[in-house]
Amino acid sequence: MSNIGNKKLHPGWVIFALAMGGFAIGTTEFATMSLLPFFSRGLGIDAPTAGHVISAYALGVVIGAPVFAVLGARLPRRTLLISLMGIFALGNGLSAVAPNYHWMLVFRFLSGLPHGAYFGVAALVATSLVPENRRTTALGRMFLGLTLATIVGVPMANWLGQAIGWRWSFGLVALMGVVTMTFVWRLAPYEPAHPESSPLRELGALRHTQVWLTLGISAIGFGGMFAVYTYLADVLGEVTGVSAHVVPIVLSIFGVGLTIGNLLVPILADRALMRTAGGILVWSALALAIFPLVAGNVWLLTLDVFLIGLGGALGTVLQTRLMDVAEDAQGLAAALNHSAFNTANALGPFLGGLAIAAGYGWTSPGWVGSLLALCGLALWFASVTLDRSRLRKLSPG
């Protein structure tokens, strides 16, 4: 339980405060893609150049996650969360007033730095509040902020960008960051860092083969979802032949799939973690393989997009897995999950784009995505095999 004065708070309130940060982060991560035409014109650059702004944020996530997790090892988790959200709010506030493209690159990189570490530390706080057999469920609820951002936050930021200017969208996200800081300060429990916590102890996570295998599952197995999501609007226009106003609706259905997946799948994962992870990878491989076959029908395509979104719960399951296999270095391992996630965000669209450029058509990212999910499944199989081998060695006789 958390305390406000002498009043005990239910863990759900703490998870709500943590989820607010996820909502802010998810809004800026996904909305920036939809705002690209607006800030590219505002900064006087073309669309491909503006795309580097999105890459700068992803690079910040990949670099910042391990750096902040290691350097913040000796800080109380609540203090670290507030500090990380402060940097996030500052980066987005500066993005709102960026005078030119080069400063925009710097400010988006700064905004991305705390992303992974925030989720990593928030995951540790959320799971510390509940019994062992409810950890993944707690994580799923904490990540609801991120998934709800794809349904509510992104359309809201996009509308704001169109109505009064793209800078206000980044300003809104900065305000969300400040509100999150307040809620975390008021609701999250204050606990001193573990006496033995240190940067070197956190780096110890990198010694474990299972940590690397789990990160590989995330970086590769998740890539398929991003391969399809990135080119979904183009498929709807070029292949399905729907009008522009239908596109946001289908994208929102994807967000609904993500949200429902993070509500239901963690319940299964709390009973059988690795079986659930393997099942999601098989599910994703099938849903992604179906994508090219149904692209011509908007109703079947929308249903398949929903099914692909359900597979997004893999991230929540792997978050728990990393905390299990990292032993005493859970902070770095939990943060690295989001570095892997953003690696998938780069890998999937890159390979999907190569397939399109090679002449395989707009729907080819579906086949690419299915193959990536199967590669993730191969790494999952290696991880399970290693677990079984270790258990056989530990078993007497």
What's the confidence (pLDDT) of residue 62? 84
CA distance between the termini of the chain: 44
CATH code given to domain 199-397: 1.20.1250.20
What's the confidence (pLDDT) of residue 232? 84
Q: Is the pLDDT of residue 5 over 60?
A: no
Which tokens go with 11? 């863990």
Which of the four pLDDT bands, split at 50, 70 and 90, describes residue 193?
low
Task: Please compute the mean of the pLDDT values over residues 351-378 and round it to a whole number.
Answer: 92
What's the confidence (pLDDT) of residue 6? 38
3-class SS of residue 2: strand
51 close to 39: Cβ distance less than 8 angstroms: no
Which of the four pLDDT bands, split at 50, 70 and 90, describes residue 304?
very high
Task: Tell me which residue of 250, 279, 242, 257 sits closest to 373, measured CA to CA.
Answer: 279
Q: Is the pLDDT of residue 354 over 80?
A: yes
Domain residue spans of the chain: 1-197, 199-397
Chain centroid to Cα 18, Å, comes to 14
What's the confidence (pLDDT) of residue 43? 83
In this structure, the number of other CB atoms found within 10 A of the CB of residue 207 comes to: 11
3-class SS of residue 74: coil
Task: Please compute the mean of the pLDDT values over residues 166-170 and round it to a whole number.
Answer: 88
Give the least confident one: 18-22, 149-153, 211-215, 374-378. Answer: 149-153
Q: Is the fold of 1-197 the same as that of 199-397?
A: yes
3-class SS of residue 9: strand
29 close to 55: Cβ distance less than 8 angstroms: no
Task: Please compute the mean of the pLDDT values over residues 113-136 and round it to a whole number.
Answer: 86
Give the least confident one: 2-11, 93-102, 132-141, 180-189. Answer: 2-11
Q: Is the pLDDT of residue 9 over 70?
A: no
Interatomic CA distance for residues 300 and 219, integer angstroms:
28
87 close to 108: Cβ distance less than 8 angstroms: no
* Residue 379 identity (one-letter amino acid): L
* Radius of gyration of the chain measured on its C-alpha atoms: 20
What lies within 8 Å, CB to CB, of 345 at 6+ separation is 58, 222, 223, 226
Q: What is the mean pLDDT of the chain?
A: 85
292 close to 363: Cβ distance less than 8 angstroms: yes
Q: How far is CA 117 from CA 33, 102, 223, 350, in A?
A: 22, 25, 21, 25
CATH architecture of 1-197: Up-down Bundle (1.20)
